[in-house]
Chain A
């Protein structure tokens, strides 16, 4: 197995090579060249979270991409490659692609950091001039130098002997941490610095107004983190995460009631509602494009290809929508308002706030709000019968979302296992409501698209295929509508109600 070592701070590669112990071990310098290594990962560190590093190593004569297991140091896959494609599906077929695809899915592969170094390749040979150990030295400017020892199969004794020399005579230190970590530390960064999951640690005794600002700051960070990727349209997840953070903020402003001054809440509610509106069209089109292969696979094989003009249409429409969005995200209105919001969140809170709920502890407020919205979900759901209009389900969907966001904001205030279980139950109900709404919207929009496409010389077969697709979506919508009753029954069952009650109601009564 390959072994990694770190040089002591004052040892250069040249000094290492000139060292008597190394010379006596019969080491020969085979090559020395300037190298560039770029680490890649998705914005949300999917490879690192799966214990994989992805590096492109370039020198004058070669350029190759290597995936390595972080824990074992073993190479998973490697391929010669000059340029790294943006998406895993754009890689040539092979081990690299089949490793990346299930992990990265729709996320783009982005450069994380780049290291330049002088690399030295040494061979240690025996009496027959047979190579028994290979040494690769990386001489960095700002980091300690590194050495990789590659043993040759069947020559374990020689490898052990060299390890002994490296550690005792030259003071090298074995390391199992990739140089990536040291390089990131140098830039004040660390892996997993971004996650799309909400992870807010609250102290239950915190004053509600302070805690709410803390929550908004988290969401603001997510908005800012995803802003550039959204403007550049690096991948569709940036806009998705951006919108989720915007929606959560809006939900917070309306649901964490009477905590911040009314004028603040209402003016920023308008701003975030505007952000929701301007990002909507691009996101909708992203969803159609992401679903496109699925749409095709739902059609009979003989007419699948007829749907392709719809893809071109969606792509053109999305490009236009995205351009407008990017302009708005670079506008003065956006920049100023967001920075004012940031300034407001940073400002220290008043010692004696006048808002009704600002004095409560965040735990008191959380109990109260979650319990109230939970009951609203039950109430709205109970009122829905077979004849109820689609709007009733849509309203319930929105209430469920509010409940979900509240539970996620305040997750850290409750026993992890219990609240996660309740969120999971809610998710089941949200899924069927989401499906119903999505199918209805898609059906409606496809009809609008087909009207627009009439003016574009679209082949008639495409409309036929779209007709079949709309029919399919309608069938799915009807089945989601049918599923609703049983999913709501599941959610409403006594066990779930009493779990909600014991977690939120009982404690809220104590206050």
Chain B
């Protein structure tokens, strides 16, 4: 099982749509895939039409009263399951803090699922918090979408520093451009500059596109309502690039 966290310190950068569409791609190529919606806003649960509610809330879950397996919901797509969000996730930091070794809790919860899934995508809320530290410990790969703006360089460097400071040696950070508007000169320039200074950024960029925005209306991954578009092609290529980049690590 490979755990991929889709994470950014900033909000509104296309985390959820990336998590949902990448997971859709993984499942379609035959991998047993799970999305865990950790964001109390429950956007990925919404995209899969699953109620953002789990029995017992975050308290029962973190206290070990409930197993993750019992909370899983099958989506409308083959090989693709989801653990929905819950409004109580807004207090996950507090609940985690009450535990011994709080940052190890997510890893512990995921462990029993190791044989059942090939890929787990964690859809994370923004900010650096105790929850994000627990996410980093549980993950093999940190996928970080960045919008090509002046601020993005700063947040990317912040994240890199955080990973270094916390000696998360096994965590691979993979940034990629998201919500790219190629008509904007600034987007193009920043992308060119960043790629030079940050070779770890993936070559595929996810465009800013209306068909991706339509996910909220259609309530399903892009591939569920569009067969072929610039956006589906981009997600597909991004997934292939991630697979190649992480080939050595994927078991």
CB-CB contacts of A120-155 with B at 8 A, as 1s and 0s?
A: 000000001111000000000000000000001111
- Chain A residues with Cβ under 8 A from B51's Cβ? 128
Evaluate whether A153 and B81 lie within 8 angstroms (CB atoms) in the complex, with A130-B76, A131-B76 already known.
yes
Would A155 and B74 count as touching, CB distance under 8 A? yes
Q: Closest Cβ of chain A: how far from B126's Cβ, in Å?
A: 26
Would A130 and B72 count as touching, CB distance under 8 A? no
- Chain A residues with Cβ under 8 A from B74's Cβ? 152-155
Would A130 and B49 count as touching, CB distance under 8 A? yes
**Which chain B residues (48-76) contact chain A, with CB distance < 8 Å?**
48-51, 71-74, 76
Q: Closest Cβ of chain B: how far from A27's Cβ, in Å?
A: 15
Give me the interface of A with B, judged by CB distance under 8 Å: 128-131, 152-155
Would A155 and B76 count as touching, CB distance under 8 A? no
A130–B219 CA distance with the chains assembled, in angstroms: 10
Would B73 and A129 count as touching, CB distance under 8 A? no
Q: Which residue of A lies closest to B84 (CB)?
A: A154
Would A153 and B49 count as touching, CB distance under 8 A? no
- Chain A residues with Cβ under 8 A from B81's Cβ? 153
- Chain B residues with Cβ under 8 A from A128's Cβ? 49-51, 219
Q: List 6 tightest A-B contacts by C-beta distance, closest first.
A: A154-B73, A130-B49, A153-B74, A152-B74, A128-B49, A131-B76
- Chain A residues with Cβ under 8 A from B73's Cβ? 152-155
Q: Closest Cβ of chain A: how far from B121's Cβ, in Å?
A: 17
A487–B56 CA distance with the chains assembled, in angstroms: 70
A131–B74 CA distance with the chains assembled, in angstroms: 9
Q: Closest Cβ of chain B: how far from A154's Cβ, in Å?
A: 3
Main secondary structure of the interface of A (DSSP, over half): loop
- Chain A residues with Cβ under 8 A from B72's Cβ? 153-154
- Chain A residues with Cβ under 8 A from B76's Cβ? 130-131
6 contacts between A and B (CB under 8 A): A128-B49, A128-B50, A153-B72, A153-B73, A153-B74, A154-B72
Q: Which residue of B lies closest to A123 (CB)?
A: B76
Q: Closest Cβ of chain B: how far from A465's Cβ, in Å?
A: 40
A128–B51 CA distance with the chains assembled, in angstroms: 9
Given contacts A128-B50, A153-B74, 10 further A-B pairs with CB under 8 A are A128-B51, A130-B49, A131-B76, A153-B73, A153-B81, A154-B71, A154-B72, A154-B73, A155-B73, A155-B74
Q: Closest Cβ of chain A: how far from B46's Cβ, in Å?
A: 9
CB-CB contacts of B148-178 with A at 8 A, as 1s and 0s?
A: 0000000000000000000000000000000
- Chain B residues with Cβ under 8 A from A155's Cβ? 73-74
- Chain B residues with Cβ under 8 A from A131's Cβ? 76
A470–B209 CA distance with the chains assembled, in angstroms: 73
A128–B73 CA distance with the chains assembled, in angstroms: 14
A154–B51 CA distance with the chains assembled, in angstroms: 11
Q: Closest Cβ of chain A: how far from B114's Cβ, in Å?
A: 17
Q: Closest Cβ of chain A: how far from B124's Cβ, in Å?
A: 22
Q: Which residue of B lies closest to A154 (CB)?
A: B73
A130–B82 CA distance with the chains assembled, in angstroms: 13
A154–B71 CA distance with the chains assembled, in angstroms: 7
Q: Which residue of B lies closest to A151 (CB)?
A: B74
A470–B71 CA distance with the chains assembled, in angstroms: 65
A486–B49 CA distance with the chains assembled, in angstroms: 74
CB-CB contacts of B190-226 with A at 8 A, as 1s and 0s?
A: 0000000000000000000000000000010000000
- Chain B residues with Cβ under 8 A from A153's Cβ? 72-74, 81
Q: Which residue of A lies closest to B73 (CB)?
A: A154
Q: Closest Cβ of chain B: how far from A492's Cβ, in Å?
A: 54
Residue of A129, A152, A153, A154 with most chain B CB atoms under a 10 A cut-off: A154
Q: Closest Cβ of chain B: how far from A135's Cβ, in Å?
A: 15
Residue of B48, B73, B74, B81 with most chain A CB atoms under a 10 A cut-off: B74
A450–B51 CA distance with the chains assembled, in angstroms: 76
- Chain A residues with Cβ under 8 A from B50's Cβ? 128, 130
A155–B219 CA distance with the chains assembled, in angstroms: 19
A152–B48 CA distance with the chains assembled, in angstroms: 13
Q: Closest Cβ of chain B: how far from A29's Cβ, in Å?
A: 16
A153–B48 CA distance with the chains assembled, in angstroms: 14
CB-CB contacts of B69-100 with A at 8 A, as 1s and 0s?
A: 00111101000010000000000000000000
Q: Closest Cβ of chain A: how far from B58's Cβ, in Å?
A: 18
Q: Which residue of B lies closest to A150 (CB)?
A: B74
Q: Closest Cβ of chain A: how far from B81's Cβ, in Å?
A: 6
- Chain A residues with Cβ under 8 A from B49's Cβ? 128-130
A339–B173 CA distance with the chains assembled, in angstroms: 79
Q: Closest Cβ of chain B: how far from A439's Cβ, in Å?
A: 46
A131–B51 CA distance with the chains assembled, in angstroms: 13
Q: Closest Cβ of chain B: how far from A96's Cβ, in Å?
A: 13
Q: Which residue of B lies closest to A152 (CB)?
A: B74
Q: Closest Cβ of chain A: how far from B83's Cβ, in Å?
A: 9
Q: Which residue of A lies closest to B82 (CB)?
A: A154
- Chain B residues with Cβ under 8 A from A152's Cβ? 73-74
Would A130 and B71 count as touching, CB distance under 8 A? no
Residue of A130, A152, A153 with most chain B CB atoms under a 10 A cut-off: A130
Q: Which residue of B lies closest to A153 (CB)?
A: B74
A251–B73 CA distance with the chains assembled, in angstroms: 65
Q: Closest Cβ of chain B: how far from A474's Cβ, in Å?
A: 48
Q: Which residue of A lies closest to B51 (CB)?
A: A128
Q: Closest Cβ of chain B: how far from A76's Cβ, in Å?
A: 15
Q: Closest Cβ of chain B: how far from A226's Cβ, in Å?
A: 41
Q: Which residue of B lies closest to A131 (CB)?
A: B76
A131–B49 CA distance with the chains assembled, in angstroms: 9
